[in-house]
Structures are given as structure tokens and as C-alpha cells.
Amino acid sequence: MKDVVTNGSKADVVIIGGGVIGLSIARELARRKLDVLLLERGRFGAEASAAAAGMLAPQAEADRDDDFLRLACASRDLYPEFAQTLYEETGIDIELDRTGTLYLAFTEEEARELEKRYRWQKSAGLEVEILSAAEALSLEPKLSPEIQAALRFPRDWQVENRRLIGALVCAAQKLGARLCADVEATSIKIEGKRVEAVETSTGRVHAAMAIIACGAWTDLIRFGEGDLGEPLIRPVRGQMLCLEARPPIVRHVVYSLRGYLVPRRDGRLLAGSTIERVGFDKSVTVHGLREIIDHALEIAPEAAALPVRDSWAGLRPQTRDGWPLIGASEAIEGLFYATGHYRNGILLAPITGKIIGSLICGEEPQSFTERFTPARFKIK
Ligand SMILES: Cc1cc2nc3c(=O)[nH]c(=O)nc-3n(C[C@H](O)[C@H](O)[C@H](O)COP(=O)(O)OP(=O)(O)OC[C@H]3O[C@@H](n4cnc5c(N)ncnc54)[C@H](O)[C@@H]3O)c2cc1C
């Protein structure tokens, strides 16, 4: 039976947003036997979560050793068990691929940058290998002969994010969460500094706890007559090109400073992406595709002959300081945030579910996760 919301519906917890973040939390809370109702304005996972490339690459993207890297590595390290339990719960294989990630340098300056990254990551105890051009080409013969050097991150993996969404929907429902598509949350009703209800397009849901997990649209949620105050999250458009590569031209996820290629098990090859601040416009543009194609061909010139299968764009949710917002509101009892995951929401989905689950169940969270609480901004 389809889950619906009508006036007078009740739940322990209402989750607003059915992307990878809201769904991961719904599953986690349902595992903990809470009565969960998730509201999704459109289709589950159809926004940024479907647009993503599915890279689980905290090390490849890191410029320094900080709490964000610790959070991202901790979430990546949860993935093998996350994939296995999701498979047991649903029979859906989320295609966790552990081949690893290559990061290419095309100039001497880029090679020096990679060497720096290699040195600090090694001394931080992270797994990373430095490769000559010849070694990189022996691993991936279809890469450009122009490369100067490369790093290999054996623990930076990838997952098929659209299968992940399907698995999370299925698991959360099997565990008893109620997931409602086509229902928009419009505002959160606060009474005496406590969450009392969530107003939706189809009626009011009474709940003492509400979790804002609506990605790029976070600032559109109202609090009674008020709003969040100064804008908290801005949308950052990312365009993606999907090619058909049978047989595959690369096995690893491959990055350069400008773009990336992600090979999928079924022969798709994703080429990404752009970083554009254009509001809520999800258009795919000629300019965006030209940029992506140039960067893809720099990595692997043979991609020029591949058929184009699809293209799309999604809106990454970015906070003012670029770090995600995960935790309880200081001002309003029962209000939680799980948003602003910007370029790493697929990677951070397992740990976000765990942090919110621990907070709601009154368990002690890991200390470094405190850096991500909403207390760092002046918000409700
Ligand atoms: C091109 C591109 C490539 C990316 N690649 C990667 C990658 O390789 N690895 C990685 O880790 N991350 C990647 N990301 C980032 C990742 O996609 C996001 O960080 C992640 O999807 C955010 O998840 P979310 O659930 O917060 O947001 P979304 O998936 O956008 O979900 C939010 C949901 O909330 C719903 N919603 C909004 N307002 C309301 C409301 N009022 N009521 C009800 N529902 C509402 C929306 O309809 C939406 O479904 C990429 C993103 C893009 C665009």
C-alpha cells in the first residue's frame, strides 16, 4: 500500500527530503525501531543523488588532514559493511567497486602538487601510491601518453549511486519506515521552542522530531511565519556526460585537476563535471558539455570515439563554509539538520545516518563529528 500523509498523521520522526541523505537516515532510524515518516516532494533520490558519479574518494580530493577528511574516510570505511547489509536486507547489489582511484598530473607543476599530497597523506598514515607515467600507463593503457605522474588511492572506491537509492528505499520500507513521494513539506510548526508538527502539501503531520534533509532546497523550509534567516545553503550545478564504453577503456576511477572518468560495470562511462553557481537551473548546456568533453579527452583521448548515451545536471547543496551540516539545532528541541553535503553526499550517506541515529537515540557521537553541528551558524 502506498504511504500517504493526511491531516492528523503522526510519527516519532519526520524526515524532509528523500535523497540519499534522508533515505540513509530513514533506514538507520527504522533499524532502531523508531516510527519514521519521510516526505519527498518528487521521486526518491531523483535530484542530486541520482546526478552524482558515485565516487567514494575522500583522499583524492583532500588538500589537508582535517576533521572533514576524518569524517569522509570514516564514512568510506563503513561502505563494505553498508553494501553487504543492504544486500542482505534487499537483494540489491549497489556495485561497490574497490579497484581504486588514479589522480593524474599533466605538467611538472601538477606532478609537484601530487607529490606533496602523497607525502602528507603517507605521514598521516593513509594508503597512497606514487606512480611514474609508465607505471600508470601499465595499469591503464588507454590513458593519455601526456601524463607526467599519478597517484593511486587503493581505498578510494565507487558505488552505483542509483542502485544505492533503490536499495535504501527498499531497505527503509522493509524495516518499517513510511516513505511518501509527491508530498512537499512547507513549514515546521514550533511551539514553545519545540517541534510540534510538519505542514505538508497534503496535511499536517504531528511529530516531536523533524530532520531537514532537503539538500539544495533547505532554505525554502519555513518555520511558522519565519524562515532560516541568512541563506544557509546554495545550489551548485554539476553537469554530467554519460558515454558508452564497451569494452571499457579504464578500470579505475580517474581524476585530473579538471575532470574525472568513472567506469560503470554495465559499460557506461561517466564524465564530469562542472561547478556552476546558477541558482536552481538544472539545464545541461553546450558550454558545460564542451568543458567536460575537453577534460575527458585530456585524460583518455580514445574517449573521442565513444557513443554518447545521456547527459544530465544536478544541484549540489553547499553551506557557507563548504562543510556539511549534521546535528541537532541548539535553539529548537527536536529539530535536526542533515544537509549541505555538497560534493560528497554519496560518500557521507552512511556516516550521516549513523550520526543522526546516535543523536536521536541519545548515544554519544564520535567527538570529531561535533565540528559539523548547526551551532557554527546563527540558525534556528
Ligand atoms: C554532477 C554531480 C556529481 C556528484 N558526484 C558525487 C560523487 O561522485 N560522490 C559523492 O559523494 N557525491 C557526489 N555528488 C554530490 C551528491 O550528489 C550530493 O551531495 C548528495 O546527493 C546530496 O544528497 P541529499 O539527499 O542531501 O540531496 P538530494 O539528492 O538533492 O535530495 C534532496 C531531496 O529533498 C527533496 N526536497 C527538497 N525540498 C523538499 C520539501 N520541502 N519537501 C519534501 N522534499 C523536499 C528533493 O526533491 C530531493 O529529492 C555529486 C553531485 C553532482 C550534482
Q: What backbone phi and psi angles, to 5 degrees, belong to 180?
A: -110, 115
Q: What is the pLDDT of residues 16-65, one digit of tens each?
A: 999 999 999 999 999 999 999 999 999 999 999 999 999 999 999 899 99
Upper half-sphere CA count for residue 182 (Cβ side, 13 Å): 4
Show the cell assigned to 106. 599533466
pLDDT digits (tens, 9 = 90+) for 126-181: 999 999 999 999 999 999 999 999 999 999 999 999 999 999 999 999 999 999 99
C-alpha cell at 133: 607515467
Q: Is the CB of 20 under 6 A from ligand 1?
A: yes
Q: Would the CB of 241 count as within 6 Å of ligand 1?
A: no
Nearest to 326 by CA among 356, 298, 303: 356
At residue 368, the pLDDT reads 73
Q: Which of residues 298, 319, 340 is at a domain's end?
A: 319
Minimum-distance ligand 1 atom for the alpha carbon of 239 = 1
Asked if the structure places residue 95 within a domain, the reply is no
Residue 233 in contact with ligand 1 by CB distance below 6 A: no
Sign of the alpha-carbon dihedral angle for 202, 206, 212, 218: positive
The reply to whether 203 and 307 lie within a common domain is no
- Please report, rounded to a whole number, the percentage of residues in the chain having pLDDT higher than 90: 89
How far is it, in rounded angstroms, from Cα 14 to Cα 335?
10
Q: Are residues 326 and 372 in the same domain?
A: yes
Decide whether any atom of ligand 1 lies within 6 Å of the 51 Cβ: yes
Domain count, the chain: 2
325 alpha carbon to ligand 1 midpoint, in Å? 14
pLDDT of residue 228: 64
Q: Which three cell numbers mark 293?
A: 568533453
Establish if 83 belongs to a structural domain: no
Q: How many Å lie between the centroid of ligand 1 and the Cα of residue 317?
A: 7
Verify that 124 and 255 share a domain, yes or no: yes
Q: Three cell numbers at 329? A: 539545532
pLDDT at 230 over 80: no
Quote the ligand 1 centre to 337 CA distance (angstroms).
14
Structure confidence at residue 47 (pLDDT):
98
Domain that holds residue 45: 9-50+163-232+321-376
Q: How far is the CA of 19 from the centre of ligand 1 (A)?
A: 6
Residues 244 and 293 in one domain: yes
Query: According to the model, what pLDDT value does residue 311 have?
Result: 98
Ligand 1 centroid to Cα of residue 23, in Å, is: 11
- Whether 300 and 364 map to the same domain: the answer is no
* Domain match, 214 and 305 both: no
Same domain, 209 and 180: yes
Q: Judge whether 84 lies within some domain.
A: no
Residue 170 sits in the same domain as residue 314: no
**Ligand 1 near 205 CB (within 6 A):** no
In short, whether 40's Cβ falls inside 6 Å of ligand 1 is yes
Domain check: are 266 and 150 in the same one?
yes
Split at pLDDT 50, 70, 90, the class of 1 is: low
Judge if 276 and 147 occupy the same domain. yes
Domain assignment of residue 351, yes or no? yes
Domain boundary among 290, 319, 348: 319
pLDDT at position 5, please? 79
Residue at 75 is within a domain: no
**72 within domain boundaries:** no
Whether residue 69 lies inside any domain: the answer is no
Q: What is the CATH number of the domain that holds 25?
A: 3.50.50.60
Backbone angles phi, psi at 367, to 5 degrees: -60, -40
Choose the final residue of a domain: 274, 297, 319.
319
Q: Locate all alpha helices (DSSP H) within the chain, ordered by sequence.
A: 20-31, 48-51, 58-61, 67-90, 108-123, 133-139, 161-174, 286-299, 345-360
- With a 6 Å cutoff on the Cβ, whether 324 touches ligand 1 is no
Is there a domain that residue 60 lies in?
no
Q: What is the number of the ligand 1 atom nearest to the C-alpha of 46?
A: 49
Shared domain for 304 and 340, answered yes or no, is no
> 328-372, pLDDT tens digit by residue?
998 899 999 999 999 999 999 999 999 999 999 988 877 777 889
Which of 341, 347, 356 has the most ligand 1 atoms within 8 A of CB, as the residue to mutate? 341
CATH number at residue 297: 3.30.9.10
Q: Residue 238 CA: which ligand 1 atom is closest?
A: 1
Residue 87 has pLDDT above 80, yes or no: yes
Domain check: are 150 and 246 in the same one? yes
CA of 122 to the centre of ligand 1 (A): 32
